[in-house]
């Protein structure tokens, strides 16, 4: 799967950078190094939409409409209770939090297998305990080596084993889930955070693909309407990108701003999600 996703990631980077002039299929295919017909097939199979549709949503930057959708769907989801049933995530994604003791001990006694894999949004670094994925970040703003060091610092008492072969099927499952494609079995997460962070991340899982919410919406949703700044800090502390969708939170103005792994990557993720939902 990684071999098929590498040209998609390269194309997405190119289209994001050149979005204002709307490059065509032939130019994008040439940049990636494939024939137009083959590139079209590869992109649509891996991304779920055509390059043209992705570029349309990337250029539209329809954040206000997505915010309106997000507010209504998010409110309805939260009215059922954060632990209540909700669409795909509760069926295919299970999240387990570390115990308070394990959190304080920074992962002491845990073994984390980790590796790098090519995904639709570039090179990803993934770490997993026996209970699930505990880390998913992107190289680009920082190198693969820097991301690995950051993961090791975050889980500083854990034992780390570099094993790209072990991570490969986990990565494939994660990318399929994040791309709204068939996902074999349940995807399990093993999260580490304060009680407040966990509550914010649980709320993030209630935001459906194609919708956006503001930090104020999120603060209201968890019953802390005056805690937008603290909510923003908790969103920024999320270390399992894509799967815990911190990218679906933006400013009330509709501006796509700071993202730990790059604002352009956030734009690409949001555009692809919105294109997939509309397909």
Catalytic residues: 246
Contacts by residues 215-223 (CB-CB < 8 Å, ≥ 24 positions apart)? 215/249, 215/251, 215/252, 216/252, 217/70, 217/71, 217/74, 218/249, 221/74, 221/75, 221/78, 222/82
* 141 C-beta neighbours (distance < 10 Å), count: 15
Residue 29 in tokens: 């295919």
- Distance, in Å, from the CA atom of 71 to the CA atom of 81, rounded to the nearest integer, reads 15
- 278 Cβ contact partners less than 8 Å away, ≥ 6 residues apart: 53, 57, 210
What count of residues does the chain have? 279
Look at residue 211 and give its three-state secondary structure. Answer: coil
Residue 68 in tokens: 């309106």
Look at residue 253 and give its three-state secondary structure. Answer: coil
Residue 152 in tokens: 């090791």
């Amino acid at each position: 799967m990684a071999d098929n996703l590498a040209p998609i990631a390269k194309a997405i980077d190119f289209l994001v950078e050149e979005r204002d002039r709307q490059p065509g299929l032939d130019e994008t295919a040439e940049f990636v190094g494939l024939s137009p017909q083959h590139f079209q097939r590869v992109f649509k199979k891996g991304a779920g939409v055509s390059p043209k549709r992705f570029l349309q949503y990337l250029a539209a930057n329809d954040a206000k409409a997505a915010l309106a959708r997000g507010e209504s769907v998010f409110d309805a989801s939260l009215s059922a209770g954060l632990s209540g049933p909700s669409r795909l995530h509760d069926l295919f994604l299970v999240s387990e939090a570390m115990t308070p003791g394990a959190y304080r001990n920074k992962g002491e006694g845990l073994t984390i297998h980790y590796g790098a894999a090519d995904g639709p949004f570039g090179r990803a670094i993934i770490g997993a305990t026996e209970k699930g994925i505990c880390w998913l970040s992107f190289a680009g703003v920082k190198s693969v080596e820097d991301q690995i060091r950051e993961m090791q610092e975050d889980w500083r008492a854990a034992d780390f084993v570099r094993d790209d072969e072990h991570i490969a099927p986990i990565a494939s499952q994660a990318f399929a889930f994040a791309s709204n494609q068939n996902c074999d079995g349940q995807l399990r997460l093993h999260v580490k955070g304060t009680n407040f962070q966990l509550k914010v991340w649980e709320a993030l899982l209630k935001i459906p693909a194609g919708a956006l919410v503001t930090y104020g919406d999120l603060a209201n949703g968890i019953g802390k309407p005056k805690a937008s700044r603290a909510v923003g800090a908790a969103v920024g502390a999320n270390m399992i990108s894509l799967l815990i969708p911190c990218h679906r939170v933006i400013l009330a103005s509709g501006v796509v701003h700071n993202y730990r792994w790059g604002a352009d990557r956030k734009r690409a993720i949001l555009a692809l999600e919105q294109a997939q939902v509309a397909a």
